[in-house]
Amino acid sequence: MLEKEQKLLEILKSAFQVEGKVIRNRRVEIWDHKEMVPAILLMVKTQLGYKHLNHITCIDWLEEGKFQLVYTVFSHTDKLTLFVKTKIDRDPAIMPNIDDIWDQANTYERELREMYGIEFPGLVGDQEFILEDWDEMPPMRRDFKTDVYAEKTFFAQPGREDAQDVRETITKRSGEEIPEFAKKYSRD
């Protein structure tokens, strides 16, 4: 079992002294400092054949004060998925730019910059990406209170605030009875 996975892990461990583990069949993960990530990615791309960058994701560890970035790369020859993970400070959040290794990284990095406020020095394209005219805190950070923002900006429909069952609210207002067949779907 898992020979390919183990072998990959061995290579990476010997090359970069990274920590890592085999998650399961065809899934390998490693983690390292953020400065090492471009070197690792370049190495796996050019030498090990991991030519496909699936995506870059970010997890907000608010309590630790860290962002965790996960680079998912895939090898079409080995049929292995490799997760390269790193943790960076939340404030200031700066991460080396890898869009010279993969062009498509540009898209993910611009999205991360907009949604989490992570800076990628040297990133091409400084105009807004998905959000339009956004001047608040980056909205995907966990300390951004989206419900407060929504309440402040949008108009709440009366009757929503106590999160009652909609059907009950409607019947209460219109004075009709809840039909028998519908009662079993009621919340209480």
Partner 1 sequence: MENKRNSQTIAEYIKNWSRKHSLFIMAYGTGCGAIEIPATLTSRYDAERLGIRGAATPRQADVLLITGYLATKTLKRVIRVYEQMQDPKYVIAFGSCTINGGMYYDSYNTINVLEKYIPVDVYINGCMPRPEAVIAGFQQLQDKIARGEADNGTRYKENLEWYRANQHRVIKNWRMPDYNW
Measured from the CB atom, the residue of 133 and 188 that comes closer to partner 1 is: 133
Please say which residue, 100 or 128, places its beta carbon nearer to partner 1. Answer: 128
Concatenate the DSSP letters of all residues of 59-85 into one string. Answer: EEETTTTEEEEEEEEEETTTTEEEEEE
Instruction: Please give the residue ranges that form the binding site for partner 1 (CB under 8 A).
Output: 131-133, 135-136, 139, 144, 146-147, 149-151, 153-157, 159-160, 166
Helix residue ranges per DSSP H, the chain: 3-16, 37-46, 105-116, 146-153, 166-174, 180-183
* Residue 89 beta carbon to partner 1: minimum distance, rounded to whole angstroms: 24
End-to-end CA distance of the chain: 51
CB 60 within 8 A of CB 88: no
Q: Hey, which residues does 45 pair with through a beta bridge?
A: none
In the complex, minimum distance from the CB of residue 176 to partner 1, in angstroms, rounded to a whole number: 15
Closest CA to 16 of 46, 36, 41: 36
- Give 154 or 181: the residue with its C-beta nearer to partner 1: 154
Residue 77 Cβ, how far from partner 1 at the closest point, in Å? 39
Tell me the closest approach of the beta carbon of residue 160 to partner 1, in angstroms.
5
> Which residue, 77 or 153, is less far from partner 1 as judged by CB?
153
